[in-house]
Chains A and B, each alone.
Chain A
Amino acid sequence: MAKKAHDTPLLDELKSGPWPSFVEGLERLAGDKDRPYAEMMKDLLGQLEHSYETRTGYWKGGTVSVFGYGGGVIPRFSEVAEEYPASKEFHTLRVQPPAGMHYSTDLLRKMCDVWEEHGSGLIALHGQSGDIMFQGCTTENVQKAFDGLNEIGLDMGGAGPALRTSMSCVGHARCEQSCYDEIRAHRMIINGLLDEMHRPALPYKFKFKFSGCPNDCVNSIHRSDFAVIGTWRDKIQVDQEKVKEHVARVGRKQMIDTVIAHCPTRALSLNDDDSLDIDNSSCVRCMHCINVMTKALSPGKERGATILIGGKRSLKIGDQMGTVVIPFMRLETDEDFEQLNELAETVVDFFAENALEHERIGETIDRIGLANFLDGIGVDVDPNMVSHPRTSSYVRTDDWDEEAGKWFERKKVGAE
């Protein structure tokens, strides 16, 4: 006979209110009496209620994987399995979604079918790295669930000291501000380095993220080791008639207060005829004016990306944002994309060979200095890499002339 559900007075309080309730969803699964996962979800609710009562978590890790892969499964064993035996194993499979998180209902329904058969019926869309998280699977069923998901075209994501699942913004698919083909870059790099995801052998995690413009909708600067942020090198495209229409609609004061005055480098000026004067050489491609006047302004025509390396959260040296390593890489032709791919491989190789155990690439750069990192990956220094030159005099400059010579040499080659 089916076991009675645990009383969950605390969780029950999360069923009211206008926002969709995850507790109601868990209860639907626990009440699904014809399904094998119903008992598991009853005990899961019991354990979660117990956590709410005691303000304590009760999961521990372990080792569970699928044939041929070293990562992607997050094992969870209950520490209170005696009281909640049916959910004693509640593992997660991290699975990579289609780039840009586009789904057909056909794919979503197939995912549900597999997870109903082998898992718990609970799917998170999506985890913070961008994985589909199939949550709640017994050790015995992990392989079956993965086989089922793999057969509908999905592959495991990353976990542990490995290349992690990546994320790209909606970009080219539905955004006029997109400056490169995010899906192409995302799939090219991740699928090229897939072995580093499936067989974890890096010093620590490594994340790529792809945003089509400096609005950075997937938060690549904070949250990825290798951020590809779309930008352009030529002039902002302006439709002056649309600018005038905008000024006529919102008024001159509003235009000055919300557009001109917000330009971070004072590159904008409103002409007497209500057209816009843009000092493109002072513009830093922040996106603000383009965000406000979506019809009148758009990114320039020579498009590509800025690449920033080393973003991460506190552990262990404090928060780090990605910092500029490539100020501009054109991303239009096959050759351009190949160049991006080569850089990605070079940086991951450098990380594999030079980072200490449990060290993110941002920490490696902090330890060895940006100049040594650039030397290691074969990239020349550029003033766009710093907020300002050093303020400390504690530096040896014996080879100043030689280093200055390299700069002038590069300038000469660039001019030719």
Chain B
Amino acid sequence: MTDKVMPRRANESGVPDPFPHMHPLLKENYGQWAWHDRPRPGVLHHVAHTGDEVWTVRAGTQRQLDVYSIRKMCAIADEFADGHMRFTSRSNVEFMVTSQDKTGPLIESLNQAGFPVGGTGNSLSMISHTQGWLHCDIPGTDASGVVKSLMDELHHEFTHEEMPNRVRMTTSCCQINCGGQGDIAINVQYAKPPKINHDLVANVCERPAVVARCPVAAIRPAMVNGKPSLEVDEKKCICCGACYPPCPPMQINGPESTKLAIWVGGKHSNARSKPTFHKLVAAGLPNNPPRWPEVAEIVKTILFAYKEDAREWERMGEWIDRIGWPRFFEKTGLAFTKHHIDNWRGGRSSLNASAHIHF
């Protein structure tokens, strides 16, 4: 008998306790904060009931971080921020310092290291995004590339607070939309039914599960070339791609047919209006690496129309609620088509059941 080494048994420690990692001033004032203001874009200033003050400098990152970039941030945190930092849900990094004097040199150091300072208040924050071609098994595009291209072009809007209210953008590499809801969302939109590799279906796919996955019951079992496979009623198919993850032989992507769509007006905050989902405004855009110029052009058109016309504190969706969709399409020069009219379940509630008309 050979000696078989048992693998190490995991310590099922769960969510780590953050207190050993938290900046000492945040720990001391936990639950004791009184108010905050923003001395400049990229800097937050919080004051506690105890009188303690902390300045936070926020910087953008590429999210997909190599160990060199992480160690560079660590060196900056050790030099200025007592060896602590935290991340926001949009992959921004935050350094906390105990005096305002330290913010200047910290900002300089971050800029020198290539991390832009900003993302606070009425700015465009980092675009939250998904994995794409780098790592996903079902991607239609590369979110990291789309985001890098857009953030290069919109750098000024990250480092300045010139928007009417905060702008939260997202990207997603398939219609599952892992990137989430946003003021502007750039998402893959498939434009053809899946192309089925019938030689592989029987071995790779659990066919009843794939049939069950289809939202419009367009998939049924079939024998093709003497092998058990699946077939798609292409008249019914809405090209959503839901069958692709459980059955990779149902290839939904195509170099030309995978398109990008732009959605606007999503908001998770309850401030003023209730949270909303984003709405489709443009589709059929080419998936054009490495810099997706057609997408960037429309995003900038929408963003700058909002910047120019929205009132203070209006989010993208609230601005459109006020000016109306006809003016949105007029201002952005985008086409309004039959595809903008929702025909999914519950879609009737999005129709205008009134004589309220924007002229």
Contact = CB atoms under 8 A, between A and B. Distances in A.
Say if A and B assemble together: yes
A257 to B, nearest CB: 7
Contact of A223 (B56, B142, B145, B180): B180
Contact of B89 (A130, A154, A198, A317): A130
Contact of A124 (B65, B148, B270, B345): B65
A68 interface: yes
A155 B313 contact: no
Contacts of B56: 174
A9 to B, nearest CB: 9
A248 interface: no
B271 A191 contact: no
A19 B157 CA distance: 12
Nearest to A222: B181
A14 B148 contact: yes
A216 B168 CA distance: 13
B4 interface: no
B34 interface: yes
B268 interface: yes
Contacts of B137: 57, 59-61, 76
A249 B179 CA distance: 40
A287 B105 CA distance: 34
Contacts of A181: 31
Contacts of B273: 264
A287 B26 contact: no
Given A21-B148, A25-B65, A98-B15, A13 B155 contact: no
A287 B18 contact: no
A314 B289 contact: no
A123 B30 CA distance: 29
Given A57-B253, A109-B71, A292 B313 contact: yes
B178 interface: yes
Interface stretch (B209-217, B218-226, B297-305, B326-334): B209-217
Interface residues of A, number: 127
Interface string B139-164: 11110110011011101000000000
B275 A221 contact: yes
A269 interface: no
B33 A174 contact: yes
B66 A29 contact: yes
Given A150-B10, A258-B313, A135 B135 contact: yes
A67 interface: yes
Given A186-B15, A286-B272, A126 B91 contact: yes
A3 interface: no
Interface in B16-37: 16-18, 20-23, 26-27, 30-31, 33-37
A128 to B, nearest CB: 5
A215 B267 CA distance: 10
A361 to B, nearest CB: 17
Contacts of B141: 55
B61 A125 contact: yes
B78 interface: yes
Given A18-B152, A99-B16, A219-B89, A135 B64 contact: yes
A223 B90 CA distance: 14
Contacts of B96: 174
Given A176-B35, A294-B35, A96 B14 contact: yes
Nearest to B152: A17
A318 B268 contact: no
B277 A102 contact: no
Nearest to B23: A102
A104 B83 contact: yes
A143 B136 CA distance: 21
Interface string B197-214: 000000000000100110
B115 A20 contact: yes
Contacts of B61: 20, 125
18 contacts: A19-B151, A25-B68, A58-B133, A69-B10, A96-B15, A98-B15, A98-B18, A103-B21, A106-B83, A124-B63, A128-B128, A147-B8, A150-B10, A154-B16, A219-B268, A257-B312, A294-B37, A316-B215
Given A10-B289, A287-B270, 14 more contacts: A21-B148, A22-B148, A48-B142, A56-B255, A57-B139, A96-B15, A97-B87, A111-B70, A121-B67, A122-B65, A124-B131, A170-B88, A223-B268, A318-B344
What are the 3 closest A-B residue pairs judged by CB atoms, nearest first?
A: A17-B152, A25-B66, A67-B7
Interface of B: 7-18, 20-23, 26-27, 30-31, 33-37, 46, 54, 56, 60-71, 73-74, 77-78, 83-89, 91, 93, 96, 114-116, 128, 130-142, 144-145, 148-149, 151-153, 155, 175-181, 209, 212-213, 215, 240, 242, 248, 253, 255-256, 258, 266, 268-275, 277, 287, 289-291, 311-313, 344-346
